[in-house]
Every structure is written in structure tokens, then in C-alpha cells.
Amino acid sequence: MYYKIHGETGEPVLFIPGTGMPGLAWLPYQVPALLEAGYRPITVDGRGVGRTQATPAPYTIDQLTEDFIELIETLGLGPVHAVGLSQGTFIAENMALRRPDLLRSAVMMGGVGDTTVLTRVWAESWRDLLPFGSKLPDSMFIADDLAQGLPGPTLRDNDEVVRSWQKMVSSREGLATPGMLGQYFACNDWILKREHCRYWAQIDVRTLVIAFEHDLRWPPRTGRAAAAAMPNGEFRTIIGAGHTNAIFDHHEDVNDAIVEFLLRSSQQLASASSSASR
């Protein structure tokens, strides 16, 4: 499992990527912001992605969660602040339920909430397609990424931006690989087989749920309801952002929300520890 620890001091912040997303996606904006705030970011390539080994598909969120749990324990990093995006949020949510002792706090972006009709239809279509495995053309992954990930106004009116995103997504050659297919299997299984609302009240970890205004998969209304059900949940909406482009095109707002929450969480944890030792 490929990982990189950035910096030598500060509380560790584990970035958990979305479906098929390499850890380097956090490097342009989030890693520098966290280093400047005094934290120690860790970026990771998930199972089957980038420089991490690909085992045969399918994968499950439980399996991917265990990968990250083992990484934290092997490196002796826990407890960490976890920052997840999309499928990374599924993993952070699952970890908060299974191993809250490993978490100082959690930021869950673009992946928390009840499954909407549209998200379920999207997941069901991929459930039917994935058994075809390597026969699936890369163009399907690219079109899906653009249509589901960018804000509607951008898709409709800004061909230049859409074309640049198309080139970026197309640079990942061989999308119908065992690793990518395994990642999609895990994502769909979590969406279609889990009653998410049953578990939110059990998440005691300090949690910031971040939704993106134009996210078709996980709209703000679902994230707001999830955060309200968590004992220590908070909620923020990033205005103007879509599911995929938020950490890039709206990185200032995203970074401000993450850093402010982490700093406040660190202060609260330090205060609680000081009070307990008296």
C-alpha cells in the first residue's frame, strides 16, 4: 500500500481518496494548507490505485476500511484526523463506527447521506455494467466522471473547462482495470446495500460533513440530515462546487472549512485531556 507522510511534526491527518482517485490529487492544494496549519498530512493510494497493489475485483468498503486501519496501526499513527472524499467518506464513516479509537476527528466530504433516487439509479447501472469487466471502454468511465462530477452550469456553458477535465480524466489509461473495477464494486455495494441513516447516531467522533452545492450524487440536503443525526456532527456547504471539482476549483473554501474544523477539534481535544488529568 503506497503512502507518503508530508512533514515531520504535528497531528497526523489521513487523506482517504475517492473511487479510483490517486493520493497525489491532494498534493496541489490540501497538503500545503494542512502543512501551513501545523498538521502532518498522509496521502495514500487505495487498493488497486496508483502504486498500491491491485487484488482481483470485487472489493468492499469493509475491505478498504481494513486497509486503512492496518496502515494506521502499522505506522503507529493513531489516533488521526481523517479527511475523506466521496468513497473516502464511506471509509471514514465505516472507520468511525468500527474503530473510533483510531480517530481524533473526521471530515466527510461529498459522500454522507441517504441514497437519492438518482444516486441509486446511477449505482444500479454500474452494478449491471461491471460484470463485463475489461470489455468496458474507458470512454464510459470518462463520460460518467464528467456528467456526475462537474456542476451543471459548468457542463452546460463552459466547454473549455469541460474539455480540460476530459483531458485530465483521459490521462488515466486503462480505466477498466482490476483495481478500478474493484473500486467501483465497493462503491456500488455501499450505496445499494446499506441503510445509512441507521448508523449516524452511533458516530461519536467529532465529524464535519461537507456537501457541495451542485453535487448530484450527495446533495446538501442529505448531508445536512446526516450531520444533524450525529452526536458531534457539524455541516457545511461549499457554494458553487460539484462532486469532483470541489477540492481543485474551490480549494480555498474547502481548505478553510477543513483547517478551521481541525484546529477547533484539536483545541477541544487538548482541553478535554487537560481537564481529565486534573
The catalytic residue positions are 86, 215, 243
Beta strands across the sheet bearing 207-212: 3-5, 40-44, 12-16, 80-85, 103-109, 207-212, 233-238
Dist CA 102 CA 79 (whole Å): 4
Dist CA 231 CA 223 (whole Å): 14
Angle between helices 117-129 and 178-193 (to 10 degrees): 140
Beta bridge partners of 4: 43
First CA to last CA distance, the chain = 41
